[in-house]
Structure 1
């Protein structure tokens, strides 16, 4: 803690969703550790937050696609003063499976899966010891879709969903809150970097990053462990989980189902 304020660490904080989280958390009484590759952008954001919110803002320039960068951030979390972790860093390397750029795929999986897992593990250890803390892991609405060219990215976000839901089960009774945040199309430069463009999406499908972050923080206040900001009825998620349970109960039996028996 510093000045009695909880400290939040936000990855991918230099732009888009991460920057919006940093701004909202600073305004609501948090000091910040800002993580991204671009030190110049982080320094500019840190200066702005110090001026406008009086929050302490620490800059940690780290490449989460490299072991050294992940080690640096894990070491910072291991100090034990992070009360709020936002695992926002990630990107999309798209392409049909037979045509995938394997180097780009490897780089994406390192950020989307390995870095998120290691940061989550570090935060869970320190927060569980203190019996308090919040972790938000960003997923993607594409986990509910199967489409050509999205196997690598979609699978990486399916990992995030499964990993986070297991974390939620393990966090029961520890005092640690774990949120799975499932954005749809958000108005950031994510899509241009992935080789797409916001103009390719109908305007009614594109959400502003501030709206996403407000929904996430409101879901925490409402004790909703899964936040799908544009989903009108959370019972649709409950039905999804119920359908999983129907499959799960028969996923392991001593004999194949009758339809696989010979005539």
Structure 2
């Protein structure tokens, strides 16, 4: 990691109640970092905190916070400003599929607050102290979806475009400060392969060989953060989307990916 674990410091992981976030929390703890677990589902976080304390002999704190609630985020940010935060993993996020005009508008607004506003606010809360100490790490979970226009996934793609650009812009500002910033742009990730009767529409549409293990993604991501790598793109599908978003004409790519995401919306 960019910093040596210290008893006085904490690594913060948002969206720690499932998937990549839970895997990041375990991997940080395995590497000796005490952690602050942030998500809405407090009961799951408490169970994870108990597991982490037992398995890794580090401290684990729980903050049951809805990061789409701006007032709740402000309270959390005030707390983090007063702590020594060694690592921030901005992982929490949600997505919707289908036309924006047909969507639950309140949920779309909540998606922007969670995927973009909370990422920005939490980063601003911990960044000055990292720069002052000359050490720290910020892992941003963006997406290859943020590199392109995606009809039927418009709000998610737009919020991830913010995360992608914010992350890479910060790197330019932080060069030579000792603070690392890495962007994770994962493809499909899951903890285990579901049985046929438990498969979601995404599981049915994306072949098994394109899925990546959340544990492996967490390990690769923290290794990349330790090296201050600009971007890590695990998985074949994510790499293909990154290439398509960077080099293919949007007028060609958008209808293709838009059709795929419309199918996800139909099955949601």
User: Normalised by the size of structure 2, how large is the TM-score?
Assistant: 0.80
Alpha-carbon distance change, 210 to 2 in structure 1, aligned in 2, over 3 angstroms: closer
TM-fit CA distance, 1:93? 2.2
* Displacement after TM superposition at 1:145 (Å): 4.2
Contact persistence 1:7–1:33 (CA under 8 A):
yes
Tell me, yes or no, if structure 1 residue 11 matches structure 2 residue 37.
no
Query: Counterpart in 1 of 2:52?
Result: 49
Does the residue aligned with 2:97 lie in a helix, a strand or coil?
Answer: coil
Question: Matched residues in 1 for 2:188 and 2:247: separation?
Answer: 26
Secondary structure of 1:94's counterpart equals coil
Identify the residue that residue 223 of structure 2 maps to in structure 1. Answer: 218
Aligned partners of 1:107, 1:164: CA distance in 2, in Å?
21
Alignment of 1:111-126 (within 5 A): 111-126=114-129
Residue 67 of structure 1: how far off its partner (Å): 1.6
For residues 183 and 125 of structure 2, the distance between their equivalents in structure 1, rounded to whole angstroms, comes to 17
Kindly report structure 1 stretches of 4+ aligned residues shifted beyond 3 Å. 1-6, 144-147, 240-243
Of 52, 58, 63, which aligns to 1:60? 63
Q: How many residues were matched structurally?
A: 236
SS at structure 2 position matched to 1:161: helix
- 1:35-90: CA deviations, max 9, x gaps? 11111111111111111111100111111010222112212220141100000011
- 2:24 aligned to 21, 24, 30, which one? 21
Say which is worse superposed, 10-19 or 219-228, in terms of deviation.
Answer: 219-228
Query: Could you tell me how far 1:144 is from its partner in structure 2?
Result: 3.5
RMSD of aligned C-alpha atoms? 2.7
Contact 1:62/1:72, CA 8 A, preserved across alignment: no
Residue of structure 1 aligned with 2:109, choices 106, 109, 112? 106
Q: Point out the structure with max Rg over C-alpha.
A: 1
**Does 138-147 or 29-38 show the bigger shift?**
138-147
How much does 1:141 deviate?
2.1
1:127 and 2:130 correspond: yes
Q: 1:29 to 1:208 in 2, by over 3 A?
A: same
Pick 1 or 2: higher relative contact order, CA cutoff 8 A, min separation 6. Answer: 2
Distance 1:202 1:143, change over 3 A: same
Instruction: Identify which of 73, 90, 100 aligns with 1:70.
Output: 73
Partner of 1:197: helix, strand, or coil? Answer: helix
Whether contact under 8 Å (1:80, 1:127) holds in the other structure is no
Residues 122 and 154 from structure 1, CA distance in 2 versus in 1: closer, same or farther, beyond 3 angstroms?
Answer: same
Q: 1:1-263, aligned counterparts within 5 Å?
A: 4=7, 6-187=9-190, 196-230=201-235
CA contact (8 A) 2:181 2:228 kept: no
Partners of 1:84 and 1:212 in 2: how far apart? 17
